[in-house]
Amino acid sequence: MKVTEIKQYRVNDPTGRGGYYVIKINTDGGISGLGEVGIKGWGNAIQNAIDHLGEIVIGSDPWETERLWQIMFRGGFFPADTVYSCAISAIDIALWDIKAKSIDKPVYKLLGGPVRDKVISYPHNGGKTIADLVDNCKMRWDEGWKFARWHQPPSHGTLAEPGVLEPRDSIKIAVQAMEAVRTALPDINICFDVHTRIDTTLTIQMCHELEQFKPFFIEDPIRSENAGSYRKIAEKIDLPIAAGEQWGSKWDFREVIENEWIDYARIDLCIAGGLTEALKITHWAETHFIDIVPHNPLGPVSAAACVALCMASTNVGVQEMPRQPGTFAQALFPSQIQWDEGYSWAPDVPGLGVELDEEVAEANRTTDATRWTPRLLRSDGAYTNW
């Protein structure tokens, strides 16, 4: 069996509820696999990277995922940057899908087999006001979710819209919001995403105020460029830290894992090198008693790859699942993973358990190759992290 082509689909959901950047790899054996790109808005850069890497992959045996990963990452002599790691990720996930389908097994059985039947998951919560946020968390709790997640709020305007973020004012709102949710739902697990929006010193001050509410973790308290700065955070707060969604390979995780500066590794399978690389990071984290919380803000293919990894891994904290699988993008992805009472799982079917309707994908292609995040500003007009 050899790879014959790599097809790329940048598509909009026909319902208008988002867009996806997926690839489909075909083989001469009639078996195909799906992958998903982690940063879908970076213009044509990733599209060109996938075309370039296709020179290595097309004509190769899809079972040779490790060899292909090494050549894709190192084949240009210089290490692959995030653009190329996104491209490698999508290709690698699709190859694992093909491998599993070729022997009529789910992907998680190729990763070591299931160590759990289902994976506890958390949704995304929000609202324009703190009262809205509380109501949304209550609604998700009633649906069966055991977790709530929201992020560092703007300080001016509504909680749900980009605007102005003055750190000290934002901290006051963040504390009020967490207190309100904890009071309304004493048993819910809270995941709070700082989203790299405030600086290290103020993050530490805020975390001291949040400790009383016992959140499950604090996510991305600082940006990722200097992993060594996590030492300062880890030494000065008494809350679990989750980080890693911006890192593109195991080398980026090295310092925080080996020094045990994080408690949860936020591996993004669609950025960090696919299943091949994520499996290595996961087992490496296990040796330091660090659990994984795979980053999954994307679509059904990303969700399926993350859940497959979690089903086959011992050290799992919780799985990000913004929306309940099977309740969105059904026309594009008529087959998706399963969800019930706050848990997600991959069905016992060959591959990832996700299929793409190519006719619907062709009809909903988008030529919009660029997407910038909303602009979040300080009161003086300076740009702050979104």
Active site residues: 195, 295
Q: Which helix (H) or strand (E) holds 26?
A: strand 19-27
**Distance from the Cα of residue 361 to its chain's centroid:** 22
Write down the H helix ranges in the chain. 45-57, 65-74, 82-102, 107-110, 130-143, 167-184, 200-210, 230-236, 250-258, 274-286, 300-311, 358-363
State the Cα torsion 225-230-231-234 to the nearest 10°: 180
Contacts of 236 (CB under 8 A, 6+ apart): 204
- Please state whether beta strands 119-122 and 343-345 pair in parallel, antiparallel, or not at all (unpaired): antiparallel
Beta sheet of 338-340, edge-to-edge order: 319-320, 119-122, 343-345, 338-340
Contacts of 281 (CB under 8 A, 6+ apart): 250, 253, 257, 265, 267, 272, 292
Q: Which residues of 137-147 are buried (b: 16+ CB within 10 A; e: fewer)?
A: bbebbeeebbb
- Number of Cβ atoms within 10 Å of the Cβ of 229: 16
How does DSSP assign 263-311, residue by residue? SEE---TTTTTHHHHHHHHHHHHHTTT-EE-----S-HHHHHHHHHHHH
